[in-house]
Amino acid sequence: MAHTVRAAQWLTGSAAGLAEAAEVATAALTLDTAEAAGLIGYLSRPPAGRKWTALTTDGGVVMVSMSTKDTDAATDDGAPAGHIDLLAVHPSAQGQGRGRALVRAAEEWLAGQGARQARFAGNTPCYAWPGIDVRYTAAACLAERLGYERYSVAWNMTADLSVDLSVEDDVERLARHGVTVRAAGDDRARVTAFVREHFNDSWAWEAAHAAGVHYGERDGRVLGFAAWGARPAWFGPTGTAPDARGLGLGRVLLRRCLADQRAAGQAEAQIGWVGPLRFYSRAVGARAERVFWLYRRDLA
Ligand SMILES: CC(C)(COP(=O)(O)OP(=O)(O)OC[C@H]1O[C@@H](n2cnc3c(N)ncnc32)[C@H](O)[C@@H]1OP(=O)(O)O)[C@@H](O)C(=O)NCCC(=O)NCCS
């Protein structure tokens, strides 16, 4: 059966269309039920300059965007890649060709924007998942059926927030080294500048848009930061300046963010797109859990 796929009405301001897409996403994304609707809103507010769109069919939605980073180039000559950021078909409408039609329409849109490759891979800094959660097995089957190559793997860790997250001893020890730890408030831009200088623009965007940020400083200089709720409900990013590593600052910043997430009502936190397995395992007993396959396909 042919399915008509068109630009989502809500791109032109229809609240009804947005509510429908949110309902489809909430029903289909069974591993992300609580966040699914919010993810559509999140992906709709990407960094300035990102080209993106949303396409819908009766009972299905796909959100798609172009890479803006040179490091994401699809080819050696710098041609850009595109991303399928969110794909969902209502369970009552699955298995009838909508998923396939949405992916093909997404590829067509991407090719029209100059993309040489389509990816099921997080378009940092504003992404829903690093790739396809392996437990969304139908989605992985769909990608493989449509000629996508599995080219990388990523994972999240899960932190149980009922554990002891106290930091008093560590904070005292840091104070003896002249390091103060605090929550960012009106001074958020200062932390964002640190993130841009020591890490990258992607992380700086996340630090600027996070629900909460904690940082450490010494003699008026920011030494490290941690953020949560940039990608809704997840922890990250975090980083300590190279010359301040080994003091235990990262552990304190992590625990303070997780305590915020607990106070916000979360029982668990996803540490997104990890990174240092051992650090999170030792600092808060986090376990590797969600595994994502990253897929790509060259466009003609
Ligand atoms: C993945 C999803 C979008 C597919 O939508 P759909 O409309 O059911 O897919 P289609 O009917 O177009 O099927 C296309 C292909 O998908 C795969 N597929 C669909 N349902 C499947 C199932 N139950 N098991 C395995 N593969 C399945 C198949 O490869 C199928 O083609 P084939 O039968 O020729 O092999 C849908 O199952 C869904 O919304 N899942 C939950 C959300 C999700 O996983 N999103 C991706 C998150 S990254």
Give one DSSP letter per residue of the chain, joined into a string. -----EE-GGGGT-HHHHHHHHHHHHHH-TTSHHHHHHHHHHHTS-STT--EEEEEETTEEEEEEE---GGG-SSTT-PPEEEEEEEEE-GGGTTSSHHHHHHHHHHHHHHHTT-SEEEES--TTS-S-SSEETT-HHHHHHHHHTTPEEEEEEEEEEEETTS----HHHHHHHHHTT-EEEE-STTHHHHHHHHHHHS-HHHHHHHHH-SEEEEEEETTEEEEEEEESSSTTEEEEEEE-GGGTTSSHHHHHHHHHHHHHHHTT-SEEEEEEE--HHHHHHHH--EEEEEEEEEEEE--
- C-alpha 283 – ligand 1 centre gap (Å): 38
| Closest atom of ligand 1 to CA, residue 96 | 11
Of 26, 33, 90, 94, the one to substitute when testing ligand 1's pocket (max ligand atoms within 8 A of C-beta) is 94
> Of 43, 145, 52, which Cα lies nearest the Cα of 99?
145
Residues with CB under 6 A from ligand 1: 28-29, 87-89, 94-100, 129, 132, 136, 138-139, 141-142, 145
**Joined tokens for residue 35:** 């966040």
Rounded CA separation 191/221 (Å)? 10
Under-50 pLDDT residues of the chain:
none
Q: Determine contact, residues 63/86, Cβ cutoff 8 Å.
A: yes
Q: Which atom of ligand 1 is nearest to the CA of 144?
A: 29
> How many angstroms separate the alpha carbon of residue 138 from the centre of ligand 1?
4
Q: Which of 141, 156, 297 to mutate to test the pocket of ligand 1 (most atoms within 8 A of CB)?
A: 141
| Total residue length of the chain | 300
* CATH class held by domain 163-266: alpha beta
pLDDT recorded at residue 12:
84
Candidate of 89, 90, 135, 148 to mutate for ligand 1, largest count of ligand atoms within 8 Å of Cβ: 89
Signed CA dihedral, 34, 38, 53, 228: sign only: negative
Question: How far, in Å, CA of 207 to CA of 236, rounded?
Answer: 9
How many other CB atoms are found less than 10 A from the CB of residue 215?
Answer: 27
Spatial neighbors of 136 by CB under 8 A, at least 6 apart, are 29, 31
Give me ligand 1 centre to Cα 44, in Å.
24
pLDDT for the residue numbered 199: 97
Q: For residue 271, which of 282, 287, 259, 260 has the smallest C-alpha distance?
A: 287
Measured in Å, residue 147 CA sits from the centre of ligand 1 at 14
Q: What is the pLDDT of residue 44?
A: 94
Give residue-wise pLDDT tens across range 113-153.
999 999 999 999 999 999 999 999 999 999 999 999 999 99
What residues does each domain of the chain span?
A: 6-151+293-298, 163-266
Looking at ligand 1, which residue's alpha carbon is closest to its atom 25? 138
The angle subtended at Cα 7 by Cα 206 and Cα 33, nearest 5°, is 50
Please give the number of the atom of ligand 1 that sits closest to the Cα of 101. Answer: 12
Give CATH superfamily name and number for 6-151+293-298.
Answer: Gcn5-related N-acetyltransferase (GNAT) (3.40.630.30)
- Res 120: pLDDT: 98
Tell me the C-alpha to C-alpha distance, in Å, between residue 277 and each of 49, 94, 120, 134, 230. Answer: 33, 36, 23, 19, 21
Domains 6-151+293-298 and 163-266 fall in the same CATH topology: yes
Distance 143 CA to ligand 1 centre (A): 9
Q: Quick count: other Cβ atoms within 10 Å of Cβ 142? A: 20
Which atom of ligand 1 approaches the CA of 89 most closely? 39
Q: Is 48 exposed, middle or buried (0-12, 13-18, 19+ CB in 10 A)?
A: exposed
Quick one: which atom of ligand 1 is closest to the CA of 131? 48
Q: Which residues contact 186 (CB under 8 A, 6 or more apart)?
A: none
